[in-house]
Amino acid sequence: MEEKNPESLKERMWRIVFEAETPLGKCFDVILLWAIVLSVAAVSLESVDSIRKQYGDLLKIAEWGFTILFTVEYISRIILVRRPLRYIVSFYGIVDLLSCLPTYLAILLPGAHSLMVIRILRLLRMFRVLKMVGHVRGGETIMRGLMQSRAKIFVFFFTVFLFSVLAGTLMYLVESGVEGTHFTNIPISIYYAIVSITTVGYGDMVALTTIGKMLTAIYVLTGYAIIAVPTGIVTSELLRSHLGDPTSEACPGCGVHGHLADAKFCRKCGDKLN
């Protein structure tokens, strides 16, 4: 009996960290998501001069607290998963690692601190927590009405928002050091990215550097390409309508989600599912 206790404890911890079906697992993910949101907000606010001068020390303490939390969580996932390397090289594994590194890199590399906004990619986990895995791959078709497709539309706009935050942060890194720049903080840079991606183009602020102008052109072209996404979502739903809805069950080997309800083995690494 004593030999089984460590294994059973590890299994219970794995269900809490990787699964969202149990109350503790869902609570863990919701707390983690709030920590991600607050950490991204702290990084954005710190780029505003007036806020940094008044609350700079408090924001730095909060940032180190979030970084330690995410580091412990990342290490825990590596320890609990059956195949650590599979998790480390997976999309979420790489994102989890990148969410921790900028704080440590900022000690050696000035400017790396702003890269912590990449943590917003971790919010993609919310689709699993809210049991919206089905909507990530598709969901109710738009042809069934706008109200029936509100979850899918939310996913689409949320994805565009994630891209806008990353695009704005990149513009801030490129333009912030130029004399006469309008990109004085990350929120204003995100505003510029949204205006460019939506092809609105108010003209109240412009890129001054060559790299910034090239990025702006890419954002505008990307905005035109995004128009085709809703059509692709509907087409994908029509083609996959005969398949069952994916579950939020995680593979014990690599931690990947999105398996069909009757799946016996992982769709990525081939490990047997619980």
Tell me the domain boundaries of the chain: 1-128, 138-245
**By three-state DSSP, how is residue 247 classified?**
coil
Q: Read off the pLDDT of residues 181-237 as tens digits, 9 standing for 90 and up.
A: 888 898 999 999 999 988 787 878 888 999 999 999 999 998 888 777 766 665 665
Mean pLDDT within 40-63:
85
Rounded-to-integer distance, Cα 170 and Cα 63, Å: 20
Token code pair at residue 216: 């702006």
Q: Which two tokens stand for residue 110?
A: 């000035």
Which is higher by pLDDT, 133 or 150?
Answer: 150
- Tell me what pLDDT residue 255 has: 72
Superfamily grouping for domain 1-128 = Voltage-gated potassium channels. Chain C (1.20.120.350)
Q: How far apart are CA 242 and CA 165, in angstroms?
A: 36
Are residues 98 and 150 in contact, defined by beta-carbon separation less than 8 angstroms? no
The 10 Å Cβ neighbour count of residue 193 is: 23
Q: What is the mean pLDDT of the chain?
A: 76
Residue 234 contacts residue 143 (beta carbons within 8 Å): yes
Give the architecture-level CATH label for domain 138-245. Orthogonal Bundle (1.10)
Q: Please determine, for residue 103, whether its predicted confidence score (pLDDT) is greater than 70.
A: yes
**Cα separation, 39 vs 50, whole angstroms:** 19
Alpha carbon distance 206, 136 (integer Å): 34
Q: What is residue 11's predicted lDDT score, i.e. its pLDDT? A: 80
Give dist(CA 271, CA 266) in Å, integer: 5
- Closest by Cα among 17, 25, 24 to 80: 17
Contact by Cβ (8 Å): 33, 123 = yes
Residue 226 and residue 92: Cα distance in Å, rounded?
A: 24
- What is the per-residue pLDDT for 133? 44
d(CA 252, CA 258): 13
